Structure 1
Amino acid sequence: MADVAELIEALIEREGGFVDHPADRGGATMWGITERVARAHGWQGAMARMPQARAAAIYRRIYWERPRLDAVATRAPAIASEMFGTGVNMGTGIAVRFLQRALNALNRQQRDFADIAVDGAIGPATLGALDGFLRVRGRAGEAVLLKAIDALQGARYVRLAEQRPANEAFLYGWLANRIG
């Protein structure tokens, strides 16, 4: 099973401390947590002073527990780990939609399991489809599903840079550090 504490620790290390890049629409961040998210979850102080433990609690609650990645982790730890990182960077709904789209595309025209709604929420249908996929494809299937999710993520990063030239400042780092 993916160890969420280790995932959070690695993410915080990668994100670093306080950053306020002028081209980043997300604005100021501390430990990778945007000011908007920090304020929505009770942080009132200066962003540069937000404790690492506060960021870790937000990551666990908002980006792991709320989207139900713990339920994914018991089935496919590598998928849950990737979805966690993607959810932090792009939003949990987008990360879940990537999983749902990939499962629908890999179900061999519903021979292996029924299509599911691409609604950005992990519920019984999404978990059932994941179970069906893993039942048919086994552990090797998890690696293929991960590649499909990574492909969707990479395509979105390129599209973001194409649509907003200021995002080109981030594209290399996104592709180098956030996929796989």
Structure 2
Amino acid sequence: MHIDSLIDDLIDREGGYVHHPADRGGATCWGVTEAVARANGYHGAMRALPRNVAASIHRRLYWLRPAFNRVHDRAPDLAAELFDTGVNMGPTVAVAFLQRALNALNRGATDYPDLAIDGAVGPITLAALDAFLATRGEGGETVLLKAIEALQGERYLSLAERRPANEAFLYGWLANRLG
């Protein structure tokens, strides 16, 4: 799937303006928090954030900056999941999930060396991904996606357990962000 389609799907899923009292992120529009919008030069009312401005922010901060476009060249479905997780939890968290999963799936570092969990897609992470996909073949991307979604689901549950106000979001997170 092309990034334009991923962004359109994400924005459709996120919807327009929301300001839920239990959301520590505050007001959002099209999946962009007010803090992120302001940090990226938007000064208007969050209710009026143009969709194309949100799309530009998503592309720059959650696709290009974390190098998910480079993952896409190797594993498009994986890149789509990392993009969505990155918007929801932050790109560093999404990449850390990838790195943890790659480490757990490298058969004791016999397929490729363990990665430092630094939350950055760089040449070492890409080399490990390449080695994993070459070793595991067509089904490898699917298994890697399952591992990342398991980590994501555990994080959602943990967030709700640590802060009961997050229970307001748990059902939607599990329904709309996994699988």
Percent identity (aligned): 65
Counterpart residue type for residue 143 of structure 1: T
Unaligned runs of 5+ in 1: none
1:126 matches 2:128? no
Aligned counterparts of 1:136 and 1:113: Cα–Cα separation in 2: 10
Aligned counterparts of 1:149 and 1:159: Cα–Cα separation in 2: 15
Aligned to 1:162: 161
1:117 aligned counterpart, secondary structure: coil
Aligned counterparts of 2:75 and 2:116: Cα–Cα separation in 1: 20
2:96 aligned counterpart, secondary structure: helix
Aligned counterparts of 1:31 and 1:70: Cα–Cα separation in 2: 21
Counterpart residue type for residue 178 of structure 2: I
Q: What does the per-residue CA deviation read over 1:61-107, in whole Å, with 9 as the maximum and x for residues that have no partner?
A: 00000000010001011110000000000000000000000000000
Aligned to 2:57: 58
Aligned to 2:135: 136
Counterpart residue type for residue 16 of structure 1: G
Aligned to 1:108: 107
Moved over 2 A (4+): none
Aligned counterparts of 1:50 and 1:146: Cα–Cα separation in 2: 32
Counterpart residue type for residue 119 of structure 1: D
2:24 aligned counterpart, secondary structure: coil
Q: What does the per-residue CA deviation read over 1:9-36, in whole Å, with 9 as the maximum and x for residues that have no partner?
A: 0000011110000000000001110000
Aligned counterparts of 1:31 and 1:71: Cα–Cα separation in 2: 25
Q: What does the per-residue CA deviation read over 1:109-157, in whole Å, with 9 as the maximum and x for residues that have no partner?
A: 0111111110000000000000000010012110000000000000000
Aligned counterparts of 2:96 and 2:108: Cα–Cα separation in 1: 18
Aligned counterparts of 1:168 and 1:50: Cα–Cα separation in 2: 27
Unaligned runs of 5+ in 2: none
Counterpart residue type for residue 73 of structure 2: T
Aligned counterparts of 2:70 and 2:34: Cα–Cα separation in 1: 29
1:19 aligned counterpart, secondary structure: coil
Q: State the TM-score, normalized to the length of structure 2.
A: 0.99
1:108 aligned counterpart, secondary structure: coil
Counterpart residue type for residue 107 of structure 2: R
Superposed, 1:13-52 pairs within 5 Å as 13-52=12-51
Considering only aligned residues, what root-mean-square deviation do their CA atoms show, in Å? 0.5
